[in-house]
Amino acid sequence: MPATHPLPEPRKQGGPQAALIKLGLGRDIDLALHLPLRYEDETRIVKLRDARDGDMAQIEATVTACDIAYRPRRQLVVTVDDGSDTCVLRFFSFYPSQQKALAVGTRVRVRGELKGGFLGWQMIHPSFKPAAGELATALTPVYSASASLPQAYLRKAVLASLVRADLSDTFPPGVTQALKPTVWGLREALAFLHQPPPDVALATLEDRNHPAWQRLKAEELLAQQLSQLQSKRGREVLRAPALAAMPRGLHEQLLAALPFDLTGAQRHVGEEIARDLGRRIPMHRLLQGDVGSGKTVVAALAAAIAIDAGWQGALMAPTEILAEQHFRKLIGWLEPLFAPSGLRVAWLTGSQKKKERSQMLVLVASGEAALVVGTHAVIQEQVQFKKLGLAIIDEQHRFGVAQRLALRAKMHEAGHEPHLLMMSATPIPRTLAMSYYADLDVSTIDELPPGRTPVVTKLIADGRRDEVTERIKAQVGQGRQVYWVCPLIEESEALDLTNATATHEALSAALPGVTVGLLHSRMPVQEKKAVMSLFTGGRMGVLVSTTVIEVGVDVPNASLMVIEHAERFGLSQLHQLRGRVGRGAAASACILLYSAGEAGRLGETARARLKAMAQTADGFEIARRDLEIRGPGEFLGARQSGAPLLRFADLATDSLLLEWARELAPRMLDRHASLAQKHIGRWLGGKSEYLKA
């Protein structure tokens, strides 16, 4: 490699150099780790007579014709001859300079996908350059770039960064022995991946099993494990109030007053949380459990411990429906026990009238509100707690880093934090817990309360809607209730209201005498509450809804869930929706109504999701399959804005590397602290700061 690779001067202020910064490539190491998306083979010339249809080929030929055609649309049509055959090059978008560069008689080197046919060879929008100079000696990298960042500029910038960047080894001596014996050094691996020799098979680069890739994956996973562990240890120097339940206090009273017995799993995780609360180190625990496993009562018992110790608790949920569900349960359990002390459960939401909100703010500030339940309104600036000791965040993946930090900042003592309990009804697969959630302690409720009936899941094609309607009639006739859920059509907040409204109208017409309700997120809050009140009170037979009922709705009398266009939902979301039924003693079912589309068949991913739903009701197995199908994004949600995401490693295939990094991280922080810091800085820069949330 040459000693220097000077960067070309940018043509104007804010050109390629600004584009590098925008892509997060401000440091030499960032450029060195910006690996190619794919490669082009410009190391050899192929004769047209030896080519095959569909080949990506580079030919060297002379232009024999260059014309602008206008049918069927304006295009530049160029014919070239390489001495063995001819090929037509078509450009549907072109500049005069390109037409000039392809003048008749010009010798050019052309690369593109060859298409054969009755009229001979052709290439659509191939790349081309003058047929001069030596052929490339390595595969040509193609990088993720932008309009203001040409590939040629980026290639030179990357090569320059490989010379300048500090790529010295940050692994402690001897640790690569546990990996594949052929693992390369970092500089060797990066040089290879940026400029692979022409004899390497593209498949070995694309499947990421080459030793060079093994090194990059090991480096990345170690950086993640180190940063997560460092974040966890960093919290151990902070202080939190030591909270302990009083003998014959609120915690014991609540346990005695509950109209049901806790499951073994609930008791076990409750003890884990109680131990954490009793320490002066801030708890940072994730409570995960399948749909209906009873996380709310565990949270209530944790809040009771905080209140026993003279502190306040706060529970924040992402939607008003979910927050209100918690509020009703907590009031029912706690307020009868509060009567002698005059304590209250406060309610805070953005839809409150000003007078009610002002009253609640006074209760929170005075400490009379021992527990505060609400939505994002809980973290607004005007909400001032007297003594916040425990923060509970439900469906935590729906909140961003800043929102989680804002709730914890409600304790105003320097160097102190409240204990934090995060809850998720989406079970986290083991490899995900080991990587993205390695900074948390995880408690798992892996047992459902007795009396929960298994839910039968059926896949039914959209063309059989009439049969589904008849089944709804039968359920309502037996005094049962039914959900019918319509999806989001686009990945945005724009709801398919026409679909939901049309379904509501069709079911209303098909079910005379049955109250059919409609619920979606754009309805006024009071209207939503009125609809939900009718349904939860048993006065509405069928509720047509968008996914606003995904979590937090508990109607034991509901025995049938119909999910329209089920192929458009993620696995975890389907499982959450299915969990809305089977909460009572009646046999329950979930119908996944799917549409095969114009092609008459489902896509591979959609088919895999629906098959998984039909095969298992185990939330942990569902989560494992969802990770395989969709990757970690579904589970992380807003946490992605903070957790260092994996660019190279794959949790589904690199579990052994993850185990290696997880085992090495604590030893490296303890015995090789300077190497650990250098490694974190190289891979994460300032991103590790987000792990505080």
The tens digit of pLDDT for each residue in 584-635 reads 778 899 999 988 765 456 777 788 888 888 888 877 788 778 777 766 655 5
**pTM across the whole model:** 0.73
- Report the C-alpha gap between 386 and 364 in whole angstroms: 7
pLDDT of amino acid 6 = 44
Q: Report pLDDT for 469.
A: 93
- Token pair for 297: 């009562």
Distance CA 395, CA 634 (A): 12
Domains assigned to the chain:
16-40+139-209 (no CATH), 48-130 (2.40.50.140), 250-445 (3.40.50.300), 455-616 (3.40.50.300)
| Helices 211-235 & 186-194 angle (0-180, nearest 10) | 130
Q: What per-residue confidence (pLDDT) applies to 237?
A: 85
Beta strands in 301-403 (DSSP E): 312-316, 344-348, 369-374, 388-394
Closest CA to 385 of 355, 415, 338, 417: 417
pLDDT above 70 covers what percent of the chain?
90
CA–CA distance, 20 with 26 (Å, rounded to integer): 6
Q: How far is CA 354 from CA 66, 315, 344, 357, 384, in A?
A: 74, 21, 19, 5, 16
* DSSP assignment string, 248-304: TSHHHHHHHH-SSPPPHHHHHHHHHHHHHHTSSSPPEEEEEE-TTS-HHHHHHHHHH
318, 422 in Cβ contact below 8 A? Answer: no
* Strands (E) located in 93-233: 107-113, 121-124, 127-130, 140-142
User: Residue 404 is encoded by which pair of tokens?
Assistant: 């989680």
In angstroms, the CA 468 to CA 466 distance is 5
Long-range contacts of 68-76 (CB under 8 A, 24+ apart): 68/99, 76/102
- Cα 522 versus chain centre, distance: 25
Task: Give the pLDDT score at 552.
Answer: 56
Provide the CB-side half-sphere exposure for 122 (13 A, CA).
13
User: Any idea how long the chain is?
Assistant: 693
Q: Which residue's structure tokens are 């990059």? A: 216
Q: Which residues of the chain have pLDDT under 50?
A: 1-13, 489-497, 599, 638-644, 689-693
Alpha carbon dihedral 527, 528, 529, 531, in 10-degree steps, equals 90
User: Residues 280, 239: contact at Cβ < 8 Å?
Assistant: yes
Residues 6 or more apart whose Cβ sits within 8 Å of residue 22: 146
Tens-digit pLDDT profile for residues 7-16: 444 434 467 8
Radius of gyration of the chain (CA): 31
**Residue from 462, 461, 482 nearest 471 by CA:** 482
pLDDT at position 180: 67
Positive or negative, the CA dihedral 291, 294, 300, 306 is: negative
Among the listed residues 8, 33, 7, 31, the one whose alpha carbon sits nearest the alpha carbon of residue 20: 31
Instruction: Judge whether 394 and 318 are in contact, CB under 8 Å.
Output: yes
Task: List, in order, residues 6 or more apart from 312 with CB less than 8 Å away.
Answer: 306, 364, 367, 369, 370, 371, 372, 385, 386, 387, 388, 389, 390
